[in-house]
């Protein structure tokens, strides 16, 4: 095995993702692992390496980590192709792993040739959502699979932090989020937030500012703060532009759009569009934005339980749906808004999120909105209420959010 010194040691397995990759090992498709920086893509590849070596101890592993200076010499497709070919072993099964492959110019051309030569099994990771667009999609159409990795879901958080489910651990998850390295940092807020701030700076500088040639970093940081303060609120680029102007930052709506895109491309935030449940169309204007990781959001603007709990609950539900490979929208039916419409493989889930159901008006609104939907797909009202959790009202499931976040959808 080559390059073992460049592989991380000591990790917790994440079977929800590895199980999606295992069926494609030794198949002539490129395994592309995508997701925000520091969500555990490298460790997932290490898990795959160990699985391969368990099955075949003589396998030849070629591991290229573009975050290490040792691999600075690999900057384009020719460098990549040459290094891999020099590292191949004629009488062994060869496996190539490239970490943060977007840092190699025209890498897809090298991978296309290697795939055609059938000389090795190819794996790579990338932190940019555009990794699988443009020329790569054209050159490698039908020859790759994407595995999207997210920060820790609640059940993974419990495993990584070695704690049991309960309201205290749930609030801790809401506060710290699910960046996997928190397992080493610990659950103390001060140390955790210091680490998360450093991760945020790394994402902003490496995956947004440098990659997208952003000039006005001050504007970008103000935009992120606005998104953090307004997590889960409906607004448009025009709304953001007006807000920033009130902060004495003059910027056009188009400029706002141009700055939102790099944040989305870095898998740092997600844009959730409105979906007309009657007309079955997606609205082009107005959207909600959620963060890949709640801890990063909190490290930017702080976390107050009373002030932020509903925003964080919505973000957690959204993240849970993403982790289970749903396409998520904000539902619109007439003048009524449904927090989440989640679609997967031709099926749907409808979800309303409320902090507490203490008042009849809240109960009427949350359940009433879902009752307006004229189909029989599962419907949920998610809250922090433990009473009546798991009950059913006129076909609508009422669940405590902790139970929902542990549910295998």
pLDDT digits (tens, 9 = 90+) for 43-76: 999 999 999 999 999 999 999 999 899 999 999 9
Confidence (pTM): 0.94
Q: Are 62 and 110 in contact (CB under 8 A)?
A: no
Helix (H, G, I), strand (E, B) or coil at 68: coil
Residue 232 and residue 246: Cα distance in Å, rounded?
21
Q: Are 181 and 68 in contact (CB under 8 A)?
A: no
Beta bridge partners of 275: 282, 331
Give the pLDDT of residue 90: 95
Position 136 pLDDT exceeds 70: no
Strand ranges, E, within 167-320: 269-276, 281-291
Mean pLDDT of the chain: 93
The tokens describing 218, both together, are 């001050």
Report residue 15's pLDDT band, with 50, 70 and 90 as the boundaries: very high
Residues 338-384: tens digit of each pLDDT: 999 999 999 999 999 999 998 999 999 999 999 999 999 999 999 99
Q: Does domain 4-148 correspond to CATH entry 3.40.50.300?
A: yes
Give the pLDDT of residue 2: 43
Position 6 pLDDT exceeds 60: no
Residue 53 and residue 25: Cα distance in Å, rounded?
12
Least confident of 33-37, 132-136, 140-144, 258-262: 132-136
Which runs of consecutive H residues, i.e. helices, occur in 69-106? 77-87
Quickly count: other Cβ atoms within 10 Å of residue 389's Cβ. Answer: 17
- Give the neighbor-by-neighbor strand order of the sheet with 281-291: 281-291, 269-276, 327-333, 336-344, 347-353, 379-383, 396-400, 391-393
Give the pLDDT of residue 39: 97
Give the pLDDT of residue 391: 86
Q: Are 84 and 24 in contact (CB under 8 A)?
A: no
Position 232 pLDDT exceeds 80: yes
Beta-strand relationship, 379-383 and 281-291: unpaired
Position 21 pLDDT exceeds 60: yes
The residue with tokens 């902790």 is 402
| CATH 3.40.50.300 domain residues, the chain | 4-148
Q: How many CA atoms lie within 13 A of 75 on its CB side?
A: 3
Of 218, 245, 253, 31, the residue nearest 125 (C-alpha): 31
Residues 67-109: tens digit of each pLDDT: 899 999 999 999 999 999 999 999 999 999 999 998 899 999 9
Quickly count: other Cβ atoms within 10 Å of residue 323's Cβ. Answer: 22
Quickly count: other Cβ atoms within 10 Å of residue 285's Cβ. Answer: 9
Share above pLDDT 90 across residues of the chain, in percent, rounded to a whole number: 84
């Amino acid at each position: 095995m080559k390059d073992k010194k460049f592989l991380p040691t000591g990790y917790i397995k994440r079977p929800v993702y590895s199980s999606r990759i295992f069926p494609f090992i030794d198949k002539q498709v490129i395994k592309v692992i995508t997701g925000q920086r520091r969500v555990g893509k490298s460790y997932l590849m290490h898990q795959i390496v160990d699985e391969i070596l368990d099955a075949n101890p003589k396998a030849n592993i070629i591991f290229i980590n573009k975050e290490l200076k040792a691999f600075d010499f690999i900057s384009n497709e020719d460098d990549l192709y040459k290094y891999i070919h020099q590292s191949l072993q004629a009488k062994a099964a060869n496996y190539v792993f490239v970490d943060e492959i977007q840092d190699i110019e025209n890498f897809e051309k090298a991978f296309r040739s290697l795939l055609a030569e059938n000389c090795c099994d190819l794996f790579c990771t990338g932190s940019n959502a555009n990794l699988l667009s443009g020329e790569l999609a054209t050159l490698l159409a039908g020859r790759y699979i994407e595995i999207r990795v997210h920060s820790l879901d609640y059940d993974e958080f419990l495993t990584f932090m070695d704690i049991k489910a309960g309201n205290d651990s749930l609030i801790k998850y809401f506060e710290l989020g699910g960046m996997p390295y928190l397992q080493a940092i610990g659950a103390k807020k001060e140390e955790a937030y210091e680490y998360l701030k450093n991760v945020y700076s790394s994402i902003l500088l490496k995956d947004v500012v440098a990659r997208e040639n952003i000039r006005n970093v001050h504007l970008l940081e103000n935009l992120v703060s606005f998104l953090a303060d307004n997590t889960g609120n409906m607004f448009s680029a025009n709304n953001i532009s007006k807000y920033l102007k009130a902060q004495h930052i003059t910027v056009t709506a188009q400029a706002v759009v141009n700055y939102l895109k790099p944040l989305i491309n870095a898998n740092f935030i997600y844009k959730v569009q409105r979906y007309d449940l009657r007309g079955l169309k997606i609205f082009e204007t107005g959207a909600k934005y959620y963060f890949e990781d709640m801890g990063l959001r909190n490290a930017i603007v702080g976390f107050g339980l009373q002030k932020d709990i509903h925003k964080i609950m919505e973000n957690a539900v959204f993240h849970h749906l993403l982790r289970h490979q749903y396409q998520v929208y904000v539902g619109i039916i007439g003048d009524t808004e449904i927090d989440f419409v989640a679609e997967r493989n031709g099926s749907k889930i409808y979800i309303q999120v409320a902090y507490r159901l203490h008042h009849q008006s809240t109960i009427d609104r949350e359940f009433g909105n879902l009752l307006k939907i004229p189909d029989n797909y599962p419907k949920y009202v998610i809250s922090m209420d433990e009473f009546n959790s798991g009950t059913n009202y006129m076909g609508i499931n009422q669940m405590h959010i902790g139970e929902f976040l542990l549910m295998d959808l």
